């Protein structure tokens, strides 16, 4: 059995569809900061974003409350295993070392150093 390969030169029958250049698409223009500074916008004292004068007070009220809140760390594992039999096997408590274990370690190191000297 003989395989036959043909090489065609020139334009391919499958041409790529024409697309707009990257710098002229509307989405590209949105990500670039505008060099034009609008005088009708006022800056938020908390986050520095700019808003219309009639909306600035409302934004600053919300922005001041949001900045003060301490968010809890979301535990995806806890959420995922809630209500399942795996819930009993999930470790609870802080992930970092406790101060007790750190103190025990330091005292053990000190005792070993005294013993070796």
User: Are 28 and 19 spatial neighbours (Cβ–Cβ below 8 Å)?
Assistant: no
Q: What angle do CA 32, 47, 38 make, to 5 degrees?
A: 50
| Residue boundaries of the structural domains of the chain | 37-91
Query: pTM score, two decimals?
Result: 0.34
- Distance from chain centroid for Cα 74: 13
The SS3 call for residue 9 is: coil
- 27: phi then psi, degrees, rounded to nearest 5: -65, -30
Q: Whole-angstrom Cα distance, residue 49 to residue 41?
A: 9
Q: Which pLDDT tens digits describe the chain residue by residue (117 residues)?
A: 566 666 666 555 555 555 555 555 554 444 456 667 788 999 999 888 999 999 999 999 999 888 777 878 888 988 899 999 888 888 776 655 555 566 677 788 888 888 887
């Amino acid at each position: 059995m003989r395989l036959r390969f043909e090489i065609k030169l020139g334009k391919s029958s499958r041409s790529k569809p024409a697309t707009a250049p990257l710098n002229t698409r509307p989405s590209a223009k949105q990500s670039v900061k505008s060099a034009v500074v609008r005088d009708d916008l006022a800056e938020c004292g908390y986050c520095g974003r700019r808003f219309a004068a009639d909306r600035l007070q409302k934004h600053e009220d919300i922005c001041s409350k949001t900045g003060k809140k301490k968010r809890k760390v979301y535990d995806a594992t806890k959420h995922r295993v809630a209500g399942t039999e795996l819930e009993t096997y999930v470790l609870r408590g802080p992930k970092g070392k406790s101060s007790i274990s750190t103190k025990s370690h330091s005292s053990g190191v000190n005792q070993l150093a005294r013993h070796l000297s």
